[in-house]
């Protein structure tokens, strides 16, 4: 991770040491909450005066509040908009009270960050939208979004990636390009229903990616196997070849519709075409369709071209265990993180 040193320096100007400022930056960007144990782990200190000194600075400057929570212990919350102003993050949500489950998720989030500082994380909504839309050329309409109504009767606001779970580029696989990695944090819920809903919200975006990974972060391994099974079911489209066949079907149904041959289209055909039209977009797709419709591109030639340009994607599922009773023992199960659909070269 490459911290923005100018923003760290701005926090130092408030009276914090370099290590304290770097830690505050990580907390402000990724969680908003932290424990003394996490601070000590980041700094490598043993406790005592170091932790007390940091506590005094935060309290006297009004930069954080402290509260005891059942089964969590003493938790600090950054509670100063001035801090966010100093690191140019005023667009982050203002400090407020949250439910215990939300706080547990944020602590698990920070624990994951502290144990995996080597990844290139996307810190803001803007960074994420720029990467997918400007760098990868993916339309904004397929990004996971939530619409917020204006309290004053103005236009609604659309926000993207509101879950704020860790998202990063994993560059640790030798001889391979970086893998865009998404995640989900389970803070101890009784089922994987929330995880399934989360992945479903990302499906329109995932369909546009040839290679990606998902990390399931939890305080218990109870749901790991169930989560992987659900993920595999949701990713079935990626695990089975034949996307070129889907596109050719889309070509045929679209051509029949444009020729007003409505009698040849069943209701399921029309519904399928509607969904496929959202999945398959872009200049390459339109050019291929025009060539196919004019008869200059045969089915076989299209399949060959598609397989060359769009080899079977790779989908990875990994787990990360962070025991609830010990925030700090974070184990990313990289050795168990297998490709659900590896390419022949990775076998």
Provide the phi-psi class of 343: left if phi over 0, else alpha when psi is between -120 and 50, else beta: beta
Q: What is the pLDDT of residues 158-182, one digit of tens each?
A: 999 999 999 999 987 666 788 999 9
Quick one: how far is CA 56 from the chain centroid?
35
Q: What's the confidence (pLDDT) of residue 310?
A: 56
Contact 170, 179 (CB under 8 A): yes
* The model scores a pTM over 0.85: no
pLDDT mean over 128-137 = 94
Give the pLDDT band (50/70/90) at residue 246.
confident
Identify the band that residue 311 occupies on the pLDDT scale cut at 50, 70 and 90.
low
Q: What are phi and psi of 42, to 5 degrees?
A: -65, -40
Tokens of 249: 């079907």
- The answer to whether residue 240 scores a pLDDT higher than 80 is no
Tokens representing 307?
């397989």
pLDDT in tens, 274-287: 888 877 777 778 88
Tell whether the model's pLDDT for residue 24 goes beyond 90: yes
Output the pLDDT for position 44: 87
**pLDDT of amino acid 298:** 92
Query: In whole angstroms, what is the distance from residue 266 CA to residue 282 CA?
Result: 26
What are the tokens at 233? Answer: 């079911």
- H or E element, residue 18: helix 18-30
pLDDT at 325 over 50: no
Per-chain mean pLDDT for the chain: 83
């Amino acid at each position: 991770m490459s911290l923005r040193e100018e923003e760290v320096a701005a926090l130092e100007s408030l009276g914090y040491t370099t290590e304290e400022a770097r830690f505050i930056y990580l907390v402000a960007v990724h969680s908003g909450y932290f424990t003394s144990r996490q601070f000590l782990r980041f700094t490598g200190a043993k406790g005592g005066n170091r932790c007390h000194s940091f506590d005094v600075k935060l309290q006297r400057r009004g930069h954080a509040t402290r509260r005891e929570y059942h089964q969590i212990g003493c938790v600090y919350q950054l509670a100063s908009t001035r801090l966010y102003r100093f690191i140019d993050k005023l667009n982050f949500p203002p400090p407020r009270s949250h439910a215990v489950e939300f706080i547990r998720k944020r602590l698990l989030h920070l624990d994951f960050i502290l144990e995996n500082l080597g990844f290139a994380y996307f810190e803001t909504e803007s960074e994420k939208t720029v990467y997918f839309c400007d760098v990868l050329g993916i339309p904004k309409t397929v990004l996971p979004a939530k619409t917020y109504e204006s309290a004053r009767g103005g236009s609604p606001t659309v926000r993207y990636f509101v879950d704020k779970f860790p998202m990063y580029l994993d560059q640790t696989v030798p001889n391979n390009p970086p893998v865009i990695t998404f995640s989900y944090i389970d803070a101890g819920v009784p089922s994987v229903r929330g995880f399934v809903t989360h992945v479903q919200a990302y499906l329109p975006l995932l369909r546009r990616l040839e290679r990606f990974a998902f990390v399931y972060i939890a305080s218990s391994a109870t749901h790991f196997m169930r989560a992987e099974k659900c993920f595999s079911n949701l990713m079935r489209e990626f695990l089975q070849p034949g996307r070129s066949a889907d596109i050719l079907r889309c070509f045929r149904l679209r051509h029949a519709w444009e020729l007003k041959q409505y009698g040849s289209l069943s209701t399921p055909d029309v519904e399928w075409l509607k969904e496929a039209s959202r999945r398959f977009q872009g200049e390459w797709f339109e050019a291929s369709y025009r060539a196919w419709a004019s008869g200059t591109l045969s089915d076989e030639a299209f399949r060959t071209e598609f397989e060359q340009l769009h080899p079977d994607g790779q989908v990875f599922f990994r787990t990360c265990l962070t025991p609830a009773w010990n925030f700090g023992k974070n184990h990313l199960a990289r050795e168990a993180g297998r490709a659900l659909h590896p390419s022949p070269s990775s076998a």
